[in-house]
Structures are given as C-alpha cells and as structure tokens.
Amino acid sequence: MKYLNNRLSAAMWARVLLLWLTLAIGALVVGGVAIGLGQFIQGNIRDELTSQQISFSAVDNLTDEEKAIPGIVENAGLPLTTGNQAKVYSELIGLHSRNSAEGAGYPGEVYSTLGGIQRQLRADVTAATESGDQTALDEANEKLTAVTNLRNTMLTASTLRGNLLSAYGWDNVATGVTATGGFILVLAVVFFVLFIYEQRRGHLPPTEA
C-alpha cells in the first residue's frame, strides 16, 4: 500500500492506461455479444413455443391431481411461451402418460418396458393362431391392440416432453448467458472508471526528472 502514491514512469503509466482501456473495450464487446446471443437464443425458443399454439387448461378444467403439479395453477389458461412453462407442461404430459398406462391396465409401464409386453402378446397371438383357439386369439389380439396404441401414445408423449424439456433447458441457458453479459458490461464500466481515474491522476514523474 505504501507504493500507491509513488509516481510511475511515463512508459509504465501509458501501459497502465492501455491495460484499463483494453480491458474496458474487451469487456464491452464480450458483454454486448453475450447479451445479444442470449436474447437471440431465447427469442428463437419462445417464438417456436408460441408457434405450437399450446395453452394450459383453465383452472376449472383441471383435476386435483393436475393442480398438484407445481406451476400448473399459476399458468392455467395461459399460452405456453416460456421455458419454465414448458417444464410445467412436460410434467402435465408425464402425469397423463402415467394415467393412460394405469387406465389400460399397465400401471408403472413406460414406452421401453411396453416393448417387452408387446413382444409377448405377439407370441401369444402366434400361439393361439397355431392352436386354433379363437377365444384366446381374440383376447390376445385385443390386448396387443391396446398395448400398441398405448405405446404409440407414450412415444408421442415422450417426444413432446423431450422437446419441451429441451426448450426449458436452452431458455434457461439463454437467461444465464444474458445475465453473464450484463455482469461483464458492469465490469466494462469499472474498467472505464479505472482508466479515467488513472488518466486524471497522472502518476508521471516530475518534468525535471
């Protein structure tokens, strides 16, 4: 600390000024690019979500089970336009998928596990066909159709959920990039202040030196 008031040589003083000015300009550019990139990503994501024209059901149309999903009541009746809303809606789709599996008589099953059930039912159809048991054949075909329809529904639901969760992730990444850009711009202001401070302070050696 005792050296802070010592005067610098002209060359050293110029280097200090150049350092603060370079840091300030660099931070200004990087911060501006980061904010622009974050807003560009977020804008594209939200435009895509808006184009899907998905809306949350009104509160009166929600079941108690649906209302228990965090964020669902707050977004009831609103269009889906943000990443956070996309996450909430993905949870709603997940609930409906689980309910569909339970309604079809396969509680706890998902798309991947239904594949094994589907293969077994196909084997049952083949066995019933070979044995000539029409009753068993009709029963196996009915179960196979139900499982196939359920699996197709779950595939669609899983795809949509994946897209929504991806939008949620990228929307939050974009928010983070924008916030980081804002912080870097604050640093740019600090560097400019330090540049002006050093320039006005004039830590040059005396002229006679």
Q: What is the pLDDT along the chain (209 residues), one digit of tens a residue?
A: 455 555 656 677 778 788 888 999 999 999 999 999 999 999 999 999 999 899 999 999 999 999 999 999 999 999 999 999 999 999 999 999 999 888 888 888 888 888 899 999 899 899 988 888 888 888 989 989 999 999 999 999 999 999 999 999 999 999 999 999 999 999 999 999 888 887 776 555 555 44
Secondary structure (DSSP) of 103-151: HTT-TT--HHHHHHHHHHHHHHHHHHHHHT-HHHHHHHHHHHHHHHHHH
Question: How many residues are listed for the chain in this entry?
Answer: 209
Q: What is the DSSP letter of 7?
A: P
**pLDDT in the model for residue 174:** 94
**pLDDT in the model for residue 209:** 44
**SS3 (DSSP) at 46:** helix
Q: At what angle do helices 10-51 and 83-103 cross, to 10 degrees?
A: 40
Q: How far out from the chain centre does Cα 133 lie?
A: 53
* Whether the predicted model's global pTM rises above the 0.85 cut: no
Among 109, 93, 69, 76, CA closest to 163: 93
**Hey, where are the domains in the chain?**
83-175
